[in-house]
Amino acid sequence: MARVFIDGEVGTTGLQIRQRLAGRSDIDLISLSDDRRKDISARLEACIAADVAILCLPDDAAREVVKAVQGHDVRLIDASTAHRIAEGWVFGFAELTPDQRRTIAAADRVSNPGCYSTGAIALLRPLVDAGLVAPDAAVSINAVSGYSGGGKAMIAEFEADTAPPLFVYGTDQHHKHLPEIMQHGGLSRRPVFSPSVGNFAQGMIVQIPMAVGPGDIARLRSALADRYADAQFVEVADGPAPKRLDPTELNGTNLMRLHVGGDDDLRTAVLYAQLDNLGKGASGAAVQALNLMLGQPEETGLTTR
Ligand SMILES: NC(=O)C1=CN([C@@H]2O[C@H](COP(=O)(O)OP(=O)(O)OC[C@H]3O[C@@H](n4cnc5c(N)ncnc54)[C@H](OP(=O)(O)O)[C@@H]3O)[C@@H](O)[C@H]2O)C=CC1
Ligand SMILES: CC(=O)N[C@@H](CCC(=O)OP(=O)(O)O)C(=O)O
């Protein structure tokens, strides 16, 4: 039985991971009482006692743990932004390339992808690899997230009714997901990224508009379908995108659905990724990586519907 400790288990991401692992007979969950859950020595002791520790903490707190457990046997999955492009860390998006599952399975340090990044990288990487998007292309990414993406503080703001129905942010183009989108999406030129948060708790759509030529829409669709042909948690929709896309449609699942909309005759297309920001965009992806690291079937404890 594998011993697993979730550091930050009562936070938004930690709680969802705990729910996904509850009841699993192959996992012994180490838990700290409420009065010890922020005590650094208790947390380090729990990490060191675990086979795998999953860090669901702010970046600085995650860095502190990573440094302190150096030299110990524990394997780490870090849900924070701290190590997503760091040397020695494997990016935890299992569908990134045909080899990524094997690389995650053998890794001691896995960084869990950001929610927006998961959608953007899933759309971009196969197209860059297929030569349909140049690494230095001028790429724009727009997205809308449910407010749970902002963690406990943003949830409180929306639930207190003090937030507007929707806001756009990241207006300075410094959003924390841009480095990982570039590195793992295969881009050499920084994309323009315009995220937003709507007044709904959970769910996400990432959109990439692009100019296309004759036949390109079918090529885009088929490059995505080829990359994800054997992926249980990434689906590529056949044919035109639906007239309306609902960001909440895949909530509660670990599924991400990709669509290609547009019209070759009009020379315009939009790529869409629909996902649960707390599912495939966070906790579901962490459990998927954990399963791979433990040699369990990738889908154990995860739902597609
Ligand atoms: N929400 C999301 O969609 C996603 C979040 N993430 C990442 O996961 C991490 C956690 O985010 P999220 O769950 O949203 O955040 P939350 O604010 O919901 O939860 C963070 C948890 O960590 C606890 N915590 C904070 N500082 C410390 C510390 N020094 N020692 C121990 N515990 C601490 C908090 O305690 P307290 O309860 O007392 O505040 C809280 O329970 C972040 O790095 C975030 O970037 C990743 C993917 C998606
Ligand atoms: C709505 C909202 O605020 N979202 C967060 C990202 C959520 C997420 O996936 O990110 P991390 O794993 O990188 O924390 C933000 O824009 O900072």
Q: What is the mean pLDDT of residues 213-217?
A: 96
- Over 90: is that where the pLDDT of 304 sits? no
User: Is 115 a residue of the active site?
Assistant: yes
- Residue minimizing CA distance to atom 43 of ligand 1: 80
Q: Distance, CA 27 to ligand 2 centroid (Å)?
A: 28
Please give the average per-residue pLDDT across 188-217, as a whole number: 98
- Mean pLDDT on 16-32: 95
User: Ligand 2 centroid vs 149 CA: distance in angstroms?
Assistant: 5
> What's the mean pLDDT in 197-201?
98
Closest ligand 2 atom number to CA of residue 112: 12
pLDDT per residue as tens digits for the range 31-85 = 999 999 999 999 999 999 999 999 999 999 999 999 999 999 999 999 999 999 9
Q: How many whole angstroms separate alpha carbon 123 and alpha carbon 186?
A: 11
Which tens digits make up the pLDDT trace of 266-289? Answer: 999 999 999 999 999 999 999 999
- pLDDT > 90 fraction of the chain, expressed in percent and rounded: 99
What confidence category does residue 167 fall into, taking pLDDT thresholds of 50, 70 and 90? very high
The residues with which 4 forms a beta bridge, in sequence order, are 29, 52
Question: pLDDT averaged over the chain?
Answer: 97
Q: How many other β-carbons are positioned within 10 Å of the β-carbon of residue 136?
A: 9
List strand residue ranges (DSSP E) for 16-101, in order: 27-30, 52-55, 75-78, 90-91
Structural domains present in the chain: 2-113+281-293 (3.40.50.720), 115-277 (3.30.360.10)
CB 89 within 8 A of CB 79: no
Mutate to test the pocket of ligand 2, among 177, 196, 256, 280 (most ligand atoms within 8 A of CB): 177
Q: What is the C-alpha separation between 92 and 99, in angstroms, rounded?
A: 12
CB of 150 closer than 6 A to ligand 2? yes
Task: Answer whether 0.90 is exceeded by the pTM.
Answer: yes
**pLDDT in the model for residue 129:** 98
Q: Among the options 27, 30, 115, 182, which is catalytic?
A: 115
Ligand 1 atom 4: residue of nearest CA: 149
- Environment class of residue 35 by beta-carbon count within 10 Å: exposed (0-12), middle (13-18) or buried (19+)? exposed
Radius of gyration of the chain (CA): 19
Task: Mention every residue, 6+ apart, whose C-beta is less than 8 A from residue 131.
Answer: none
CA distance to 196, 271, 274, per residue, from 170 (Å): 8, 21, 20
The pLDDT, as a whole number, for residue 305 is 73
What is the predicted pLDDT for the residue at 140? 98
For residue 151 and ligand 1, the question of a CB distance below 6 A is answered with yes
CA-to-CA distance for 194 and 167, rounded, in angstroms?
11
Q: Separation of 21 CA from ligand 1 center, angstroms? A: 18
With a 6 Å cutoff on the Cβ, whether 56 touches ligand 1 is yes
Non-local CB neighbours of 158 within 8 Å, separated by 6+ positions: 147, 199, 201
